[in-house]
Amino acid sequence: MKLKPITTERESRFLSASVELRKADNNTQTSNRVFGYAARFLSESENLGDSEYQFREIIMPGAFDDVLNDDVRALVNHDSSLILARSKNGEGSLKIGTDDVGLWYEFEAPDTQVGRDLVTSIARGDIDQSSFSFKVDRDGQKWEESKIGDGPTMIKRTITKVSRLFDVSPVTYPAYPDATVALRSLQEFPEANPPEKEEAPTEEHSLSHWQRRMGLFDKPASQQTEQTK
């Protein structure tokens, strides 16, 4: 059977305590330069699922290498009307890059109402979190499933390549976990790639069952000799 390519939708994730104001050159006062990490490498996310169906993500070093020259905006709360800076083809008022920690961003807050409000909010500690909006194609991610005894099903998504970086955003009140799109990508896979000569899924068949049947998850070698029934 020829598998139809699945592309996830636009997603957003956030980090706590990841945005700050950099000190001025004389180190005696706070400047208007904003610095933050939008993503951290090799750091497992919080549970994006629930207690019975746990879903966690990890971003690998190199995942952003192909998107650092995208047309990326710095926004407040992912709101396109609250523009702070922009990087296009690696140039502009927004600087983005990666280091051993993760994906970082930096910009001089503009002398606008939005920029001044942001600086005040960060200085007061009202804003101390960052978020990024991105897209991952199917070949830029890997899924693994595990279960220990009667415990919850554990799904791990490893992101190896981000295909599009839309924006980085200081955020005021992020709704975390933002798992709606990521979980929907799981649900779309068996719908777009139904097993040949198989009955439609019933209530007796779990989502993870159909994901395994389609080979989405990497299974231990000991489990690859027998297909789940």
182, pLDDT greater than 50: no
Place of tokens 């407040």: 76
Rounded CA-CA distance 115/215 in Å is 48
User: Which among 29-38, 172-181, 203-212 has the top mean pLDDT?
Assistant: 29-38
pLDDT for the residue 173: 67
Q: Are 105 and 168 in contact (CB under 8 A)?
A: yes
Q: What average pLDDT does the structure give for the chain?
A: 76
User: pLDDT per residue over 121-153, tens digit each?
Assistant: 999 989 988 889 999 988 899 988 888 788 888
228, pLDDT greater than 80: no
76, pLDDT greater than 50: yes
pLDDT for the residue 204: 43
pLDDT for the residue 227: 42
Task: Label residue 16 by pLDDT band (50, 70, 90).
Answer: low
Q: Are 164 and 135 in contact (CB under 8 A)?
A: yes
Q: Can you tell me the mean pLDDT for 34-52?
A: 85
223, pLDDT greater than 50: no
Q: 212 CB contacts (<8 Å, ≥6 apart)?
A: 145, 219, 228
User: pLDDT per residue over 83-92, tens digit each?
Assistant: 999 999 999 9
Task: Label residue 44 by pLDDT band (50, 70, 90).
Answer: confident
Q: Where are the domains of the chain?
A: 11-223
Task: Label residue 187 by pLDDT band (50, 70, 90).
Answer: low
pLDDT for the residue 51: 81
pTM above 0.75, yes or no: no
3 state SS of 123 = helix
Rounded CA-CA distance 99/129 in Å is 19
pLDDT for the residue 22: 85
Rounded CA-CA distance 5/82 in Å is 35
203, pLDDT greater than 90: no
Task: Label residue 79 by pLDDT band (50, 70, 90).
Answer: very high
pLDDT for the residue 151: 87
